Amino acid sequence: MSGGSGPLPYSMRDVGAGGAYNNAKFRHRSRLKIVLQSLATNSSKYRCGKFTVGKFLSLLMVSGLLYLFLHKSPEGLVPDELLGKEVNNNNVRRSPSEWTSRQKKVKEAFEYAWSGYRNYAMGYDELMPLSHRGTDGLGGLGATIVDSLDTAIIMGADDVVSEASRWIEENLMKRISEKGQVNLFETTIRVLGGLLSAYHLSGGDHAGSVDSGIPASYKMANPERLLEVSKDLADRLLLAFTSSPTAIPLSDVILRDRTAHAAPDGLSSTSEASTLQLEFSYLSRVSGDPKYDREAMKVLEHMRTLPKVEGLVPIYINPSSGQFSGENIRLGSRGDSYYEYLLKVWIQQEENRDSSLKYLFEMYTEAMRGVKHLLVRKTVPNELVFVGELPFGRNGDFSPKMDHLVCFLPGTLALGATKGITKKKALENNLLTDEDIENLQLAEDLAKTCVEMYFVTSTGLAPEIAYFHIEGNQEGGPDGGYKSNKYVNDIIIKPLDRHNLLRPETVESLFVLHRITEDPKYREWGWQIFQAFEKHTKVDSGGYSSLDDVTSLPPHRRDKMETFFLGETLKYLYLLFDESNTLPLDKYVFNTEAHPLPVMRSVEQASHSV
Ligand code: DMJ
């Protein structure tokens, strides 16, 4: 299939060597490369014609000036007017020290974000960076602090580690016992996940120091206290499971009352009910109490039995009946991390991959086949690959809409293909099936689309939602504002979807894809995105702000710094530029809020690998 917008050619015959479906067709020449090539061409012309010393010196001067111009730009290496645009540095090879200095810039951004939060919002869930105050949108557990702690440990941001740890030690237990309603999913992925990851990285289970690659001097948190707080919080959250008449937990918990209740419409999001297991299973492992794992795993065991559409599931589930509700199928909001955790829970429990948890990898594999068959399409005119939606189920119309949230999928697909090792190593050891290679190809194509969602806008930052032009679809709408981008006619950004919440999904996938393919273009793309965040979201008085409209310059700001900017976005960028394979992907799984937890191996497996 070429050029059309029907189902995509993700079958074996199209992705093998020499196959028709070749990612190279997406590559276009960078402006830098064009200039250098034209200089080279000119210089060979000189060789052929009359080549005087004067001409040689002029050429040398022009090259020198060009070099200085590029390297003296404020962002370091790419001139300002090219930021977030069509720069394609696929073939640039930078030195390790360049990446280390870019990584340092990310750490500085993290410390800057923290300084805004600490100065104006310490103890609140989130910073409002423009009005200089805090807001408690997540139940009042100091969510930014807990979401940030493991990032600070990983980066070696010692001051942040000590401030965050002290606040947690002195305040969090009390907050948990006094606060009211919290959402089970948000509290699990951000707060419980953040506490457990910090517990591990600070040496709590004695494995953090072995596998993480994080220097011991950075481990300043008190792991015993982190575990104690984790257990207290999880004991209260467990009420959401045990109060439900089915295996599907209720969506909310009143912490101080130790009670749980369903959402007002009685429904839970499918992704929320199925994105709890990495955290609860790890807690069972380190606390020695099996109840956390048992309750959380019942959800997935139950979901295994429910009817699906080629492995795909509706985005709502009813905890009273235990059945899915409605027919809306998508990999964006309310659906996304169901698919992510099918794979990651299977990866996390290495000892059970071939036995009790095999069904999870089978569910994941079937779902990815469903995605390829029913949801993946190409745009016109330029054949960007994207994942759309089926709002009315299998028999309803296809919607060419993709949330930025779907950009987690390239990373998940790549992880599912190699299970965390590099593609090179997997190929050398003959570990990739045709389907793995096909999924890796899809991952690379989708990552390209996700970064183009950034590069088509005036700010170089992605909107919350994009629509895509497909053949035969009348959906109209405005573009992203950057008219010179090749894909400006492929991507539609509707007025209500133009905001950017500093979300992590694209840079998350760039990090995973770079680790797995070792292709430097993912780092270059990540650097461009980081520069756009720096340019448009940094607030003078400290912190970073969400935006109302990524298509207008200067963009209007939204007065909110989401916790996941520190917990996820900056952590993934930092790790993307890391030179030393910190937190190797075959030894760690990142929960959906980017909190790394160790792959759990049996004692026997661990001793074999030493
Ligand atoms: C985070 O809380 C998690 O990544 C979640 O899975 C999806 N939404 C936000 C980030 O965008």
pLDDT digits (tens, 9 = 90+) for 72-116: 333 333 333 344 444 455 567 899 999 999 999 999 999 999 999
Q: Which of 75, 445, 464, 534 is catalytic?
A: 464
Residue in the block written with tokens 């060979």: 44
Question: How many other β-carbons are positioned within 10 Å of the β-carbon of residue 559?
Answer: 16
Inform me whether the pLDDT recorded for 320 exceeds 70.
Answer: yes
Task: Name the DSSP letter for residue 249.
Answer: P
pLDDT digits (tens, 9 = 90+) for 450-491: 999 999 999 999 999 999 999 987 678 899 999 999 999 999
* pLDDT tier at 602, thresholds 50, 70, 90: low
Q: Does 262 score more than 60 pLDDT?
A: yes
Starting at the edge strand found earlier in the chain, the sheet holding 401-403 runs 401-403, 465-468, 491-492
Question: Does residue 279 have an active-site annotation?
Answer: no
Q: Return the exposure string of 19-56: e unless at least 16 CB atoms fall within 10 Å of the residue's CB, then b.
A: eebeeeebeeebebbeeeeeeeeeeeeeeeeeeeeeee
234 vs 88 pLDDT, higher one = 234
The region of weakest confidence among 65-69, 153-157, 429-433 is 65-69
Q: Who's near 45: CB < 8 A, 6+ residues apart?
A: none
Structure tokens at 567: 């917990």
Pairing of strands 324-325, 316-317: antiparallel
Q: What percent of the chain has pLDDT over 90?
A: 79
CA–CA gap between residue 250 and residue 237 (Å, rounded): 10
Instruction: State the catalytic residue, choosing from 125, 163, 186, 490.
Output: 186
What is the pLDDT at residue 90?
A: 56
Find the range with the poorest average confidence among 7-11, 181-185, 580-584. 7-11
The residues that bridge with 589 in the sheet, in sequence order, are 597
Sheet of strand 268-269: strand arrangement: 268-269, 316-317, 324-325
pLDDT at 65 over 80: no
Specify the pLDDT at position 521.
98
How high is the pLDDT of residue 474?
67
Q: What is the DSSP string of 548-561?
A: S-TTSSSPPB-S-B
Nearest atom in ligand 1 to the alpha carbon of residue 404 is: 11
Q: What angle do CA 551, 555, 558 make, to 5 degrees?
A: 115
Number of residues that this document lists for the chain: 610
Which residues line the pocket of ligand 1, CB cutoff 6 A?
337, 405, 503-505, 564, 568, 592-593
* Mean predicted confidence (pLDDT) in 347-361: 97
**16-45: pLDDT as tens digits:** 322 222 322 222 323 333 333 333 333 333
Q: Maximum distance among all alpha carbons in the chain? A: 89
Q: At residue 255, what is the residue type?
A: L
**What letter does residue 250 receive in the DSSP assignment?**
P
Query: From CA 209, how far away is CA 215, in angstroms rounded?
Result: 8
Q: Which residues are annotated as a binding site?
A: 592
Could you list the residues known to form a binding site for Ca(2+), using ranges: 592
Higher per-residue confidence, 476 vs 120: 120
- Which entry of 293, 497, 505, 568 is annotated as an active-site residue? 505
Give me the helices (H) in 397-487, please: 409-418, 423-428, 434-455
Listing DSSP states for 350-373 in one string gives GGGTTTTTHHHHHHHHHHHHHIII
Q: Tell the burial category of 484 from Cβ atoms under 10 Å away from its Cβ (0-12, 13-18, 19+).
A: exposed
**Greater pLDDT, 100 or 66:** 100
In the chain, the percentage of residues whose pLDDT exceeds 70 is 82
How far apart are alpha carbons 447 and 375 in whole angstroms?
A: 16
Q: Which numbered atom of ligand 1 lies nearest the CA of 333?
A: 7
The per-residue pLDDT for 209 is 53
* Substitution site in 125, 126, 188, 189 for ligand 1 pocket (most atoms within 8 Å of beta carbon): 189
> What whole-number distance in Å separates Cα of residue 536 and Cα of residue 565?
14
Phi, psi angle pair for 378, to nearest 5°:
-115, 150
